[in-house]
Structure 1
């Protein structure tokens, strides 16, 4: 009985590290498209290829919340950091702490739109204009 309990604890630890891990695809060639969040979101339009890392960087002194308007591209990712729950699920809203980053590597081609709430604790706070990430399929 004790061995089964230890095994379950070890399995939970492994799942935790997998959910929080950041392992980019080998074909992404280390390309990172960074979106910086300060008083504004820059850039508001990003062009990337499948497998490339899209990274949001919170330059503010307070947490921000990102709301994804379309989640199709989030269904299949090559990497993810700070965008998934304990169980590995990705919701349509994530929070980024001050000075932290969150990132993902879409595998599918398509468009991902999002807004940023500059005050993560207040859903009625100032919101950014809708920003867009265009992902193009790599190779043939």
Structure 2
């Protein structure tokens, strides 16, 4: 009985931490335009211009996962996200997108954001890294 009470308390604490970790970030945007970046043979487009509040969605059409990586602090002013949170729903600076899935962000600050996409290469055991740029305008 003690173990059941302890387990219940741990789950309650984890639930509260998960809710607190995402208090300021919505899971998706319904107000802006959605811009898709597709991963097939290559990443397209690599350069994107969006407006403040628009959603950028990365869609993996490959048969292997794609990992997006942003520099530290690049996601500080994100106003919505999907697929960029850890187990306790704390925002991360990277996301791994499984085949036929997507991840998205809405940027709340005007400026330029750069990121890298890591994908398996057609060469056995190789990896391809492509850089992308998002220019957020007012």
State the TM-score, normalizing by the size of structure 2.
0.75
- Counterpart of 1:116? 117
Q: Is the 8 A contact 2:32 2:53 kept in 1?
A: no
**Inter-CA distance 30–15: structure 2 relative to 1 (3 Å threshold):** farther
Unpaired runs of at least 5, structure 1: none
Alpha-carbon distance between aligned partners in 2 of 1:30 and 1:51, rounded to the nearest angstrom: 6
Matched, 1:38 2:43: no
Unpaired runs of at least 5, structure 2: none
Deviations 1:49-88 (A, max 9, x none): 12111110000011111122x3444002111111122241
How do 1:93-112 residues align onto structure 2 when only pairs under 5 Å count?
Answer: 93-112=94-113
Give the root-mean-square deviation of aligned CA atoms. 3.0
Q: Is the 8 A contact 2:26 2:79 kept in 1?
A: no
Q: Is the 8 A contact 1:73 1:106 kept in 2?
A: no
Alpha-carbon distance, 1:97 to partner = 0.5
Bigger-Rg structure (1/2)? 2
Alpha-carbon distance, 1:127 to partner = 1.6
Alpha-carbon distance, 1:21 to partner = 6.5
Secondary structure of 2:37's aligned partner: strand
Alpha-carbon distance, 1:6 to partner = 4.1
Matched, 1:22 2:27: yes
Alpha-carbon distance, 1:22 to partner = 1.6
